[in-house]
Amino acid sequence: MPIEILMPALSPTMEEGTLAKWLVKEGDSVASGDLLAEIETDKATMEFEAVDEGVVGKLLVADGTEGVKVNTAIAILLEDGESVDDAVTTPPAAAKPTAAPEVSAPVPVAVSAPPVAQKGGSRIFASPLARRIAADKGLDLNTVAGSGPHGRIVKADVSGAAVTKPAPAAAPPTLAAGPATDVVLKTYADREYQEIPLNGMRKIIAARLTEAKQTIPHFYLRRDIQLDALLAFRSQINKQLAARDIKLSVNDFIIKACALALQQVPAANAVWAGDRILQLTPSDVAVAVAIEGGLFTPVLRDADTKSLSSLSTEMKDLATRARDRKLAPHEYQGGSFAISNLGMMGIDNFDAVINPPHGAILAVGAGAKKPIVGEDGELGIATVMSVTLSVDHRVIDGALGAELLAAIKGNLENPIAMLV
């Protein structure tokens, strides 16, 4: 029986995507693991691999087609002796609901048919037709004994097997609440404007930030941090690193300072998991990166154990690939803490919105020369940077948040200690 190749869900937030480019053509033979197409998700452009082997009988969706719903048939794969006329087109399955990224969210794998089941950690061998029938019936192949050669599951094994009902899907998040579209259009009917459709990323940003502000009890802690010692140390170390073509930024020090602070205050290295709190052991720090039409928050894993030069190199690579939308899902999922730095854009201070399930996010403003009163009571001038820590009160209480922010401040004002 011909196999329908379905539009895969390549990220937890993907409901539809763009079939950017086919890498095969009709009549091509493909094997498991061969690249079939490039798919643009709401976050990135990713390659799509085949699971089954066969011949590409028909491409149902053309290159460049936008808005292809997840689980819609996009091509037909044939086995020996089959033709496209044998294909039975099934109604497109409902798009997978969007959800907040989990602490260790599994990365969905692109498939051309229902995934091969696993039993006891080993592959279950089943014919493509058997897998298709099992998927249509909602049947778990782990519960089926195969009667074919070498225990292979065939059509007869699944045709009369008991059906298991799939768990009900959660409702997808809605976009930001506000006046109805027709009301807004009527209000501005006599004014000139350009209508900009929402792309996948902007829809997700609207839904996620609305969810964050409506469901997370934010509170905010603010402190001023003196940067003169850090700037002097940075200048000195950059001279020594010039021969290696490495130049550390202030942001690199901020990442390191936050990662170490999460180790110094481990109770704050936590995320909200619905009915419980997960306290992480490593310091996985997300950093907001602005791109055209939205933003990414790539995650620097184990940031507390990495050198400043390693963090700098990794951050530059992640930022570059984020702007090109070439990040893999595991590179922007996870983390317990985030940094949003608008200081380079001249912003003195601001309040950032927590990215669930993170416990906190640090909003970083610009460093500027300001008058200060020294420890000796004398008036002086220092480079001062204002930061605001947005905290999820379900995860971190006020005193704990203050302790975390004090640790960040201490690390940045004593940068040499971060190398010890």
Q: pLDDT truncated to tens, each residue of the chain (420 aa)?
A: 678 888 888 776 677 888 888 999 888 888 888 889 988 876 677 888 888 888 888 899 998 888 888 888 999 888 776 776 655 544 444 444 433 333 333 333 333 334 444 444 455 767 666 777 777 777 777 777 777 655 667 777 777 665 544 445 445 555 545 678 888 899 999 999 999 888 777 888 888 888 899 999 999 999 999 999 999 999 999 999 999 999 999 999 999 999 999 999 999 999 999 999 999 999 999 999 998 888 899 999 999 999 999 999 999 999 999 998 888 888 999 999 999 999 999 999 999 999 999 999 999 999 999 999 988 888 999 999 999 999 999 999 999 999 999 999 999 999 999 987
Does residue 330 have an active-site annotation? no
Choose the catalytic residue: 150, 218, 330, 393. 393
| DSSP track, 277-301 | EEE-SS--EEE-EEETTEEE--EET
Going along the chain from its start, the domains and CATH numbers come out as 3-159 (2.40.50.100), 173-215 (no CATH), 217-419 (3.30.559.10)
Q: Are 6 and 111 in contact (CB under 8 A)?
A: yes
Instruction: Report the alpha-carbon distance of residue 13 to residue 32 in Å, rounded.
Output: 26
- Helix (H) or strand (E) holding 201, with range, is helix 200-215
CA dist list (Å): 111 to 48, 72, 82, 114, 158: 8, 12, 20, 7, 21
Q: Are strands 337-341 and 360-373 parallel, antiparallel or unpaired?
A: parallel
Cis peptide before 357 (omega within 30 of 0): yes
Measured in residues, the chain has a length of 420
Q: Three-state DSSP class for 42?
A: coil
Instruction: Report the alpha-carbon distance of residue 60 to residue 47 in Å, rounded.
Output: 18
Burial class (CB in 10 A: 0-12, 13-18, 19+), 33: exposed
